[in-house]
Amino acid sequence: MNRNYPYGFIAIVAICLSMFSCKKESTIQESPALKLPKDQAVSAISIPSVKNGPLGICYVEVNNADIRNVGKYTLNAGGKRLFDMAIIFAANINRNASTGKAELFFNANVANVLNNKATYIEPLQAKGIKVTLSILGNHQGMGICNLASQADAQAFAQQLSNAVTTYGLDGIDFDDEYSDYGVNGTGQPNASSFVYLVTALRQLMPTKLISFYFYGPATSRLSFNGVTVGSKIDYSWNAMYGSYSVPNVPGLPISNLGPAAIDIQATSSSTAANLATQTKNNNYGVYLYYNLPNTNVESYLSSVSNVLYNTNSLYNSGGEGTTGVNFYQNANYGGVTSNGIPKGTYTLTQLEGYGFINDWASSVRIPAGWTVTMYADNNSTGTSWVLNGNQSNFTTLSPNANDLVTSVKIQ
């Protein structure tokens, strides 16, 4: 993956090039051993929503940013995650010099994230955030739109499915950029390639997510032989940052489309807020973010969340449970979390201001040297439990405290 120029510049150039280089289609060689299923109405796989409003989808440039940053942002009201999906940007579709076939490639930074899934991927998934892998061209002439046959599409889909299984991912995202169709003697985009690819991948991954960054030659090659891409994928979103444009993917409901897209480091906060207003007013189900940095951008993201969810965003810079007490919806610090709660005595109403929910907590992280007394009833009454450190599973307490805590004292 190379991004040697500003994204907006390359996107404009790519659009201009696609007008000239993507009109001629190569001859399709269909494998007789593989049949293309006729189009069917397939219900899109949806990401479970824990907040009232559009899903937050975030691409992270892992060449220069830590993907775990996606898990550091919560909503002030309710303590729910701002982002619902983190997309590893990006793996590549390369051309094997010996065979001329498509080959999945990971640069060193992507490989580091994938090979250390326990460090980078699983902690996000434990918080309820889906983690998928973006597939991007790599200037070698090979892309998602010029696979020469159905067998070639099946073979590359198998590579993608294997990666999802090996690295415990939640799905695949397609981005039809930087393929440089035609170089190295490769073919131009054809009518069947992308349809064959998503059809094969859906068969291999019936319960995983497939999304499409609405850009490139693939946007005009969404149907072949009676089968549509929209019947095989789950989400699609606008690819032009700082703009509002509804992806034209027949078959996807508005709940699975994202017309607004922002570059966190380039789109102004006023534009981001305006795009959020349009998304909310038109009832679309996705808001797309790109380029989340390692630094705290809580204020910027609040310009979006205040519109979409009527609350500001909060950033936790140093691990949860280090500067305040964090309660979790699930055991082993999973699911939705409260924001860090400082020392004090709290009624249920006061706890709710930190995103705590009554009779909901199943685990807790506590700063070193602090003591937390949890109560089953409001106003520090009822059965109590005293904790002097992290507790990963409230069912192991005596008596069982799971989904029973209503008020707390933190000292």
Number of domains in the chain: 2
Q: Any idea what the CATH number is for the domain that residue 260 is in? A: 3.20.20.80
Cα 34 from Cα 151, distance rounded (Å)? 7
Residue 390 has pLDDT above 60, yes or no: yes
271/352 same-domain check: no
For the ranges 76-85, 199-208, 264-273, 289-298, which has the lowest average pLDDT? 76-85
CA angle at residue 88 from 64 to 109, to 5 degrees?
45
Which of 149-163, 222-236, 319-333, 349-363 has the lowest average pLDDT?
319-333
- C-alpha distances (whole Å) from 95 to each of 5, 109, 152 are 23, 20, 12
pLDDT in tens, 171-215: 999 999 999 999 999 999 999 999 999 999 999 999 999 999 999
Indicate if 79 and 142 belong to the same structural domain: yes
List the single range of 11-15, 49-53, 173-177, 278-282 with lowest mean pLDDT: 11-15
- Looking at the structure, tell me whether residues 354 and 392 fall in a common domain: yes
Residues 6+ apart with CB under 8 A from 6: 266
Positions marked catalytic: 177
| Domain boundaries, position 268 | 50-315
Question: What is the mean pLDDT of the segment spanning 96-112?
Answer: 97
CA distance 24 to 334: 50
The answer to whether residue 19 sits within a structural domain is no
Query: With 70 as the cut, is the pLDDT of residue 292 above it?
Result: yes
**pLDDT class of 371 with cuts at 50, 70, 90:** very high
Residue 78 has pLDDT above 70, yes or no: no
Give the confidence band of 49 by pLDDT, cuts at 50, 70, 90.
low
- Span 113-122, average pLDDT: 94
Do the Cβ atoms of 305 and 75 come closer than 8 Å?
A: yes
Domain with 358 in it: what CATH number? 2.60.20.10
Instruction: Say what the pLDDT of residue 321 is.
Output: 63
